[in-house]
Amino acid sequence: MSFNTFGKIFTFTTFGESHGPAIGVVVDGCPAGLAISESDIQKELDRRRPGQSEVTSPRGEADKVQILSGIFEGKTTGSPVAMLIFNEDVRSKDYSKIKDLFRPGHADYTYSEKFGHRDYRGGGRSSARETAMRVAAGAIAKKYLAQKGISINGFTREIAGIRAEKTDLSVVEKNSVRAPDLAAAKKMEAAVLKAKEEGDSVGGIVEVIAKGAPAGLGEPVYYKLDSKLAEGLMGINAVKGVEIGSGFAATHMKGSEHNDEMFTSKGKVKFRTNNAGGMTGGISNGDDIVARIAVKPASSILKQQNTVNKALKQTKISVEGRHDPCLCPRAVPVAEAMVALVLMDLYLIAKARKG
Amino acid sequence: MSFNTFGKIFTFTTFGESHGPAIGVVVDGCPAGLAISESDIQKELDRRRPGQSEVTSPRGEADKVQILSGIFEGKTTGSPVAMLIFNEDVRSKDYSKIKDLFRPGHADYTYSEKFGHRDYRGGGRSSARETAMRVAAGAIAKKYLAQKGISINGFTREIAGIRAEKTDLSVVEKNSVRAPDLAAAKKMEAAVLKAKEEGDSVGGIVEVIAKGAPAGLGEPVYYKLDSKLAEGLMGINAVKGVEIGSGFAATHMKGSEHNDEMFTSKGKVKFRTNNAGGMTGGISNGDDIVARIAVKPASSILKQQNTVNKALKQTKISVEGRHDPCLCPRAVPVAEAMVALVLMDLYLIAKARKG
Amino acid sequence: MSFNTFGKIFTFTTFGESHGPAIGVVVDGCPAGLAISESDIQKELDRRRPGQSEVTSPRGEADKVQILSGIFEGKTTGSPVAMLIFNEDVRSKDYSKIKDLFRPGHADYTYSEKFGHRDYRGGGRSSARETAMRVAAGAIAKKYLAQKGISINGFTREIAGIRAEKTDLSVVEKNSVRAPDLAAAKKMEAAVLKAKEEGDSVGGIVEVIAKGAPAGLGEPVYYKLDSKLAEGLMGINAVKGVEIGSGFAATHMKGSEHNDEMFTSKGKVKFRTNNAGGMTGGISNGDDIVARIAVKPASSILKQQNTVNKALKQTKISVEGRHDPCLCPRAVPVAEAMVALVLMDLYLIAKARKG
Amino acid sequence: MSFNTFGKIFTFTTFGESHGPAIGVVVDGCPAGLAISESDIQKELDRRRPGQSEVTSPRGEADKVQILSGIFEGKTTGSPVAMLIFNEDVRSKDYSKIKDLFRPGHADYTYSEKFGHRDYRGGGRSSARETAMRVAAGAIAKKYLAQKGISINGFTREIAGIRAEKTDLSVVEKNSVRAPDLAAAKKMEAAVLKAKEEGDSVGGIVEVIAKGAPAGLGEPVYYKLDSKLAEGLMGINAVKGVEIGSGFAATHMKGSEHNDEMFTSKGKVKFRTNNAGGMTGGISNGDDIVARIAVKPASSILKQQNTVNKALKQTKISVEGRHDPCLCPRAVPVAEAMVALVLMDLYLIAKARKG
């Protein structure tokens, strides 16, 4: 298994640096016969690309995807699907100033310690630009799962402590912060713009809900649905926490409150509550799958900070360039993609395990 | 990769059911020449076994471990180390009553849906009894890492909303709830006993700190230190959330507060704060590695609950037997083990990657 | 993936040394609901155990298997099936003489170089005793595959240049060398006994035929049926070559002779010849799957040989003890097991890939 | 692990079809700091590309490689190295005739049975064109290994029964069939051209020798050097057999002849013979590593053959187009690449295992 591969049966492998020639992904294990076009992929990428609104980075990338393999006459053939985005707006000069500096909160220092030789341009491989390829891979998973009746929707639950109290999925794509509550969205947007003005950034919480997944997805005991979601979501840039269902709130509850009582309706098992977030024992139970991630405030800020340089001298830094004052809106499609990619893998595995 | 295996170079594979003949583990990839005895393993198992105090289940298991392979003349040979615990206190009759019932909060229903044929005795494979073998495997990792100057300590940070404000590792093994703060420990213990009396249970937060890990552990981008910790920790029974460093608290901070400023001390890079929890870009930075898990209140409670049975009829259930009113104290050695197992794997991988 | 694990969806992990307390295997990924008993396993083990006839080692092992997990009420539950054989006849003294010697043809020297600390008793982990656990795992695969109409039969095609010209499967278990041709078997047996008398050993060829496998098993391009068979079969102790279908004989043929012409019979595609050995492009074609292995003459011989010892001094060695003068007869069930294990894994994967 | 990935620590993942837009590879796990240029890669690709001589296919592909990632300022960064070749000479019309036919010896039928929807252009994914990317990946492995003193050389040992009796590596690149014996080369070339004239093809044997590998490469018992070589080599298109060292010839030898006697020379262990092919117990012993593959006669021949079409009607076929009458010369760099890729992976793993 490559270090840049995720999954077991349905897998994807990404490559590419922020300011190199291109970024790409190889998606493997997709069943043959799925209709996939570049526009299916592009639609999702457009939700992640920079420059969508005032609250996102103005880096001018069209992020135009090309499919290089695995599709014939519009349908998957069972062979790996490779997709590529050539980097366009790679103003390398922007970064020359910080070539020998370690930006606080970034991976500059750890990559330097680990690898010695480092591509410092825009964070190189550690840049969140890599997540575009997860979105591309996720678009295939989403399309497959949709045909099985499974939908995956993400949104911003909270920014800077401002919480979306409603969960109205229909408004998510209609506000710049991707909140499911228009009133909260306004306040969130104001908080983001204020931070931006101050040369600072804010954090928040992104939530993903998958509806329609059958019971039985997830493999005990080291390929569980919850552990795979945790792995996939924690690996997204800037994520510092992952919770499933009740999450950390569970720690304040009694067992009698937390246990989801079961009943039957039309011959099917149902749950009164969904503290489990759609799974017990690491296996889906047929209820909505609910996951949440803690997104830290973006590390790239204009405010001056203390740091050290490659020569281990103390110095000051102010991260110029085109950055996101809040990462949540663009993290939404990435989190959706990771949930889709985990579910797709587990869906195919569950078929193999059926006997 | 087996569904019951964790890791890439240093791996472990567990087997066994709560009330079957035995549980066991095969630990593979340990370098040759490490001195390991059964007492090294037993010492850690004794911290996890039931019956340690009033706040844990009274199931009378000695959990005596046997090493079956991979050790010769007291040292590892580089071959797989298999360890076995024969189950002793398997009062299967305790469980016959609930053979056809799905216990709320447990995996009875999901295993039944997934596998059809289910070992209902004590939860079978879904029982937390399996975690004993992670502790056994973790004991080997801990011993190896200790020789490299890496220590791993866990404790209960919070129970039922009562928080340990101090972090005094020296008192952790001196109180029944394994809190690093004796004053808080007393209150936590009282809360647990009260819940037990009510036939109910409480949740809490367990924290693990690894000290002494070098910078450079973790592989971008899908074998990151944080994503592997998240995978390993979320997979522990009853865990609903994982955070690294600042975790969910990060979502309320500004970038200028959250970024850990760097400075140098005696020619080494240091950080003013540790919101990163010891890693950026998924690679360790040399600071303490800090992870926390949300442990839900135990699902097995005496209080009567509504549920359904195998025939999909609604019914009531009261889970009798010997259960833990709070899972945190016994989760501490399990969480430590998982952190040790992740670090050991990444430590060996980092060596391979050095060139 | 553990270094001691084979397979992707249906996997097995072995452990144990020749003269340690026990050898064992953890079989994972078997679908739930398969009826398996210890006698299903024992039946196959009895074909591999020593002491079956004059042509095999007289080591007195009953090789009695115990199932420790994964079976409930006689059927698999989908959880890992662990099996154990306690070593009985471990006359460690037999081996003390060669503790510091490197036996020619054996892995003593390479284990010593690689691991430093070495279990020298009977070859430790490098002993062919480990293959008993492949046979145990293979027994489960065979039973599952039989229910899908797939049978797997091995036999000795050649010993010491004496070739079985007939392929009469009904006589294989009726002669000590497991040849499918009684006339040839007699000559082979004589050749083996002559070598034994001379304190020497002979080699041969084992063949396995799988009938009834559907078209479509094997995944392009790095999980092909032929490459997985090659991996599995080459890894058997003493194997120096693997061929599929025509094998090395293909190198003397013209394309027009070698290509298997296709025709249809009762609406199904058939092949005039089977030079392909049942697969093209690494995917099964519905015809018989045919694999052959070259088994070297056993390295443990009484005849004196030159070698070196741990102190790198030249010396002489004569390998006493109870050894097989020809490894083919006991390699037959091992080779069958490996073919079954590969096919089972690919069978389950093919289901996942169906979409 | 993707189905199109090979290796564990040093891995490569290929994608692309014969007549699609491009073929490519993602090489992961290469240590940082290795100097790699496109010309290092191109040099190896030029040995594999068509049109080198009269005995190879005249398909007019320059096979110009582009590096897309993982290299910065001329050196690897530890991030995945993606390489791409755009397909140029894709005369799709050549193949329209056989769109609905199954070519004997090819994977047309098995891909069709397995995947349903098939890219029939030039064999699509099953085309040996994919092996160009193994050569590209192998070029990186070769360069790394060369710096560790390990060289890898392949050549044609036999074509159509004509055997190279000498092993003069200096002449291999100086004759069209890549034989290490100029006298034999002439005869081989004549045999190939005769077959070509007849619209037929011939097979042969390719051998690879790796010199300078240290003892200790290979992991018992399911990641052995021999089993990984077998897996990697058997997976090359048209290969029907693999042998290590003495290979099938071992089956005619006595143990006393086959065992490689050991002696010491200048304080190092040496072997009188190398029947082991450089490994025992699946671990390298410091001697030359020797592997051989049986290459079947090419399946694409002008001679008319019987076959069936998609509608399962019997018909006749003559495979026009630009094909190789003997695959050996172009298989040489591919086999070298696979050996290099296996050794590189095991070399890095051995470092991790050192403790």
Task: Give the pLDDT means over successive 10-residue stretches in chain D (355 positions).
Answer: 94 97 98 98 95 80 94 98 90 71 96 95 94 98 98 98 98 98 98 97 98 98 98 98 98 98 94 98 98 97 94 91 91 98 98 88
Task: Give the pLDDT score at C329.
Answer: 97
Contact criterion met (CB < 8 Å) for D17 and A72: yes
Helices B225-234 and A225-234: crossing angle in degrees, nearest 10, is 160
- Give the containing element (helix H, strand E) for B210: strand B204-211
Most C-contacting residue of B13, B84, B92, B344 (CB-CB within 10 A), to test interface = B13
Task: Give the pLDDT score at B99.
Answer: 87
Which chains form contacts with chain B, at 3 or more CB pairs under 8 Å? Answer: A, C, D
* Residue of chain D with shortest Cα separation from A69: D16
Contact criterion met (CB < 8 Å) for A250 and B280: no
Domain assignments of chain A as residue spans, ordered by start: 5-353
Measured in angstroms, the CA of D157 and the nearest CA of chain C are apart by 11
Measured in angstroms, the CA of A162 and the nearest CA of chain B are apart by 9
Residue in A33, A220, A348 nearest the CB of C79: A220
Residue in B111, B255, B264 nearest the CB of A283: B111
What is the average pLDDT across B216-243? Answer: 98
Task: Give the pLDDT score at D92.
Answer: 56
Which chains form contacts with chain D, at 3 or more CB pairs under 8 Å? Answer: A, B, C
Tell me which of D64 and B323 has the higher pLDDT.
D64
Tokens of A7: 């999954």
Tell me if the bond preceding A171 is cis, omega within 30° of 0. Answer: no
Residue in A13, A24, A125 nearest the CB of D2: A13
Query: Which distant-in-sequence residues (6+ apart) come within 8 Å of D336 by Cβ?
Result: D138, D142, D152, D153, D154, D208
Q: Which residues from D are below 8 Å from B26, CB to CB?
A: none
Tokens of C124: 């430790």
Q: With a cut of 50, which residues of chain A have pLDDT below it? A: none
Query: In what order do the strands lie in the sheet containing C81-86?
Result: C5-6, C11-16, C22-28, C81-86, C66-67
The label of the residue with tokens 């149902």 reads: A270
Q: How confident is the model at residue B88 (pLDDT cuts 50, 70, 90)?
A: confident
Tell me which of A54 and C303 has the higher pLDDT.
C303
Contact criterion met (CB < 8 Å) for C352 and A348: yes
* Residue of chain B with shortest Cα separation from A227: B231
The C-alpha atoms of residue C106 and residue B28 are separated, in whole angstroms, by: 23
Most A-contacting residue of C2, C8, C9 (CB-CB within 10 A), to test interface = C9
- Count of other CB atoms within 10 angstroms of residue B74: 10
The label of the residue with tokens 């809040």 reads: A326
Task: Give the pLDDT score at B92.
Answer: 56
This model's pTM is above 0.95: yes
Q: How confident is the model at residue C53 (pLDDT cuts 50, 70, 90)?
A: confident
Burial group, residue A88, by CB count within 10 angstroms (0-12, 13-18, 19+): exposed
Task: Give the pLDDT score at A58.
Answer: 75
* Residue of chain C with shortest Cα separation from D6: C222
Instruction: Quick: pLDDT tens for C74-132.
Output: 999 999 999 999 998 766 566 677 788 999 999 999 999 999 999 999 899 999 999 99
Measured in angstroms, the CA of C188 and the nearest CA of chain D are apart by 12
Task: Decide: helix, strand or coil at residue A41.
Answer: helix
Helices C38-48 and C328-353: crossing angle in degrees, nearest 10, is 140
Burial group, residue C306, by CB count within 10 angstroms (0-12, 13-18, 19+): middle
The label of the residue with tokens 């596998």 reads: B115
Task: Give the pLDDT score at C88.
Answer: 85
Task: Give the pLDDT score at B323.
Answer: 85
The fourth-level CATH superfamily of domain B5-353 is: Chorismate synthase AroC (3.60.150.10)
Residue in C158, C253, C305 nearest the CB of D297: C253
Task: Give the pLDDT score at C90.
Answer: 64
Task: Give the pLDDT score at C321.
Answer: 74
Tokens of C13: 């992990």
Query: Which distant-in-sequence residues (6+ apart) come within 8 Å of C158 by Cβ?
Result: C164, C204, C205, D251
Task: Give the pLDDT score at B190.
Answer: 98
The C-alpha atoms of residue C169 and residue C151 are separated, in whole angstroms, by: 12
The C-alpha atoms of residue A4 and residue A14 are separated, in whole angstroms, by: 6
Write the single-letter amino acid at C300.
S
| Beta-ladder partners of A243 | A292, B241
Q: Are D208 and D335 in contact (CB under 8 A)?
A: yes
Contact criterion met (CB < 8 Å) for A68 and D33: no
Residues C84, C87, C91: CA angle, nearest 5 degrees: 170
Task: Give the pLDDT score at A92.
Answer: 56
Q: How confident is the model at residue B70 (pLDDT cuts 50, 70, 90)?
A: very high
Closest by Cα among A243, A348, A220, A350 to A289: A243
